[in-house]
Amino acid sequence: MRLVRFATAEGRLGVGMLDGEDVVEVVHATDRVPLGERVQATDRLLDRSQVRLLAPIARPPKFLAIGKNYVAHTAEMGMPAPDAPLFFNKQSTCVIGPTDDIWAPQDAPSLDYEGELGVVIGRRVRRVGADESMEAVAGYLVVNDVSVREWQRRSPTFTLGKSFDTRGPIGPWVLTRDEVPAPQDLRLRTWVNGELRQDGSTSEMVVPIAEQIAYLSQSTTLEVGDVITTGTPAGVGAGFDPPRWLVPGDVVRVEIDGVGAIENRVVSEPGR
């Protein structure tokens, strides 16, 4: 099931599920799609062309990310491999939808992309083992872990460089867990202006999804709506010599086979 949030041309917000090219509206609050609960459909039907898809979860309770989780990406960044899983926060105010604009910062040119698979938590868990942690997953989505590298490198936590406004495109929907039988075997690609930059597989993760959830849950209670973004393969802009930073006018597309795709244009950051 593909669960979506949407806005109509009149500005009305809604939540629904995709049935082919139709959006079947469901009964639910509009800040996120239903997760880990029964989906109650209404008789309201909209053509997908009549709506704009929004971030499936407007403000995740927690937006957690793992760094250095693909060996080749760690190498291209010139960084040592971590001794333990390296997690950081992306502040939830960075979240935007699957077609919204990414702002290029006024005073930091090192804007970069990172295509990733996002995991959405569907039930509250604490101190869960890796052998059962996948039961907490509601579904999956596509993430671009947009990064401002100079800010990222100023702090060992990465958080500031990962949390600028608009640096968290997610979507285009939450694809429920039952539709993704092999989440550790998905092809992940990123294009910039039609040029393929990243081409990897979730099979390359150093710490697989089940272990990520289990590890996090030892210190942090995971809640419904939390998003965990699971790392990026090689091919980011920082890995080129010279680096190939994103600039206004660029279009970034991240696609994960069997899950979906998001596509965001880079624009100049507006004033306050």
Tens digit of each residue's pLDDT (9 = 90 or more) over 178-200:
999 999 999 999 999 999 999 99
Q: How much is the pLDDT for 116?
A: 98
Q: Can you tell me which residue has the tokens 């040119």?
A: 109
Q: Can you tell me which residue has the tokens 């086979």?
A: 257
Q: How much is the pLDDT for 125?
A: 97
Encoded tokens for 167: 């640096």
Q: How far apart are CA 268 and CA 272, in angstroms?
A: 12
Q: How much is the pLDDT for 158?
A: 79
Alpha-carbon torsion 212, 115, 90, 84, what sign?
A: positive
Q: How far apart are CA 60 and CA 58, in angstroms?
A: 6
Q: What residue ranges do the domains of the chain occupy?
A: 2-54, 63-268
Q: Can you tell me which residue has the tokens 């990026």?
A: 232
Q: How much is the pLDDT for 59?
A: 95
Q: How much is the pLDDT for 156?
A: 72
Alpha-carbon torsion 166, 170, 173, 177, what sign?
A: negative
Burial grade of 153 (CB within 10 A; 0-12, 13-18, 19 or more): middle
Amino acid identity for residue 179 in this structure: E
Q: How much is the pLDDT for 157?
A: 75
Q: How far apart are CA 211 and CA 232, in angstroms?
A: 17
Contact criterion met (CB below 8 Å) for 103 and 193: no
Contact criterion met (CB below 8 Å) for 61 and 120: no
Q: How much is the pLDDT for 30?
A: 82
Q: How much is the pLDDT for 80?
A: 82
Q: How much is the pLDDT for 99?
A: 98
Q: How far is CA 192 from the centre of its chain?
A: 17
Express the helix, strand and coil content of the chain in percent, nearest 5 each: 15, 40, 45
Contacts of 146 (CB under 8 A, 6+ apart): 94, 102, 111, 112, 113, 114, 162, 164, 166, 167, 168, 169, 246
Q: How far apart are CA 72 and CA 78, in angstroms?
A: 10
Give the chain's residues under pLDDT 50: none
Beta-strand (E) ranges in the chain?
2-8, 13-19, 22-26, 41-47, 51-54, 63-67, 86-89, 95-96, 102-104, 111-112, 115-121, 137-144, 147-148, 168-176, 187-192, 195-201, 227-229, 251-256, 260-268
Q: Can you tell me which residue has the tokens 């938590």?
A: 121
Q: How much is the pLDDT for 118?
A: 98
Q: How far is CA 214 from the centre of its chain?
A: 19
Is beta strand 86-89 parallel, antiparallel or unpaired with respect to 63-67? antiparallel
Q: How much is the pLDDT for 75?
A: 83
pTM of the model: 0.95
Q: How much is the pLDDT for 74?
A: 85
Q: How far is CA 46 from the centre of its chain?
A: 26
Q: Among the CATH numbers 2.40.50, 2.30.30, 3.40.50, 3.30.460, which is that of 2-54?
A: 2.30.30
Q: Among the CATH numbers 3.90.850.10, 3.20.20.70, 2.30.30.30, 3.30.70.20, which is that of 63-268?
A: 3.90.850.10
Contact criterion met (CB below 8 Å) for 69 and 116: no
